[in-house]
Amino acid sequence: MTAQIYRSAPARIAPAGLVFLGIMTLGAGINWPVQKILLGEWPPLSARGLSGLAGACLLAVLAIAARQSLRVPEGQWLRICISAFLNITSWVVMMGFALTILPASEAAILAYTMPVWTAVLAWPVLGERLTPLRVVAMIMAFAGIVVLMGGSGVEASVAKLPGILLALATAFTYALGTIFLKRFPITMPPMASASWQLAVGCLPVALFGVAIERPDIAALSIVGWSCLAYNAIVQQCIGYACWLAALQRMPASAAAIGTMFVPVIGVLVSAYVIGEPLGAAQIAALVLTVGSVALAVRS
């Protein structure tokens, strides 16, 4: 989901805003085990690139239905391409490979350290003050990573290290994308902008995946097709539309705090649906990560 918010968010929370936020959060949380299941049937670049392109087309249809122009204003293409690379391409590629190594629950926990890195990067890049809360948030995020690595034993932690590094690199790159959009916002309607970013970010991934991975359509089961459809329709399209609808009806800070439930849902659903471990290490890492994000958002 692209790192873009309305600047004119209301000061009060409307009940409908909570409903839209809940739909987005639930859909995004469930998408973590859905992606894990999908990657068990199809290679990562093809699976994530093609479903992202489908989502971009659906978002474009929604944008047109909402009477948002898809025309890119002069001087905005470079911003769209840079944002697409930082927020979409890196997320699709690196997190895709991370999910082939890590449990979906652990990938979700690591991915949602991105608000912490955004708060830290805002200091040297945007000149925002590095407050004590942000320092504590960073320490808590690192503590969560250490707990997650140490909870599986030395050998398992070493085996998972490439996945952990990929997931953290994804979160860091996404934070760079958020900072970039704060510094160089895209002057387009949000849904139209998101559809272009998703298309530009996923197109090279899909093309490269089809050419190199040669995905076999016959290898997809009904479950695999359902996962592809879920990612394109629920995650990329309905989820983003609900996110924008929530931001129109509640403060952006409140909406950002609400997204902290995404990794919680991801961890719980992954444990229930695909039997991933849910022990003391996972719970402690989740608590530390959610706490660090809460502090980063409030700072």
> CA–CA separation, 127 vs 33, rounded Å?
38
CB atoms within 10 A of CB 130: 14
Six-digit token string for 257: 């705090």
Handedness of CA 219, 222, 223, 225 (dihedral sign): positive
What is the total count of domains within the chain?
A: 1
9 lies in some domain? no
Whole-structure pTM value: 0.87
46 lies in some domain? yes
For residue 29, give the amino acid letter.
Answer: G
140 lies in some domain? yes
For residue 115, give the amino acid letter.
Answer: P
Residues of the chain predicted below pLDDT 50: 2, 5-8
> CA–CA separation, 14 vs 248, rounded Å?
9
242 lies in some domain? yes
CB atoms within 10 A of CB 299: 19
188 lies in some domain? yes
CB atoms within 10 A of CB 183: 11
Closest CA relative to residue 137, chosen from 253, 293, 298:
293
Q: Please give the DSSP secondary-structure letter assigned to residue 86.
A: I
212 lies in some domain? yes
2 lies in some domain? no
> CA–CA separation, 151 vs 147, rounded Å?
6
Closest CA relative to residue 103, chosen from 292, 291, 275:
275
Q: What is the pLDDT of residue 15?
A: 80
4 lies in some domain? no
Six-digit token string for 77: 């293409």
Q: What is the pLDDT of residue 253?
A: 66
Which residue shows structure tokens 């990794």?
263
Q: What is the pLDDT of residue 257?
A: 73
Which range of residues forms the domain containing residue 81? 15-298
Q: What is the pLDDT of residue 271?
A: 92
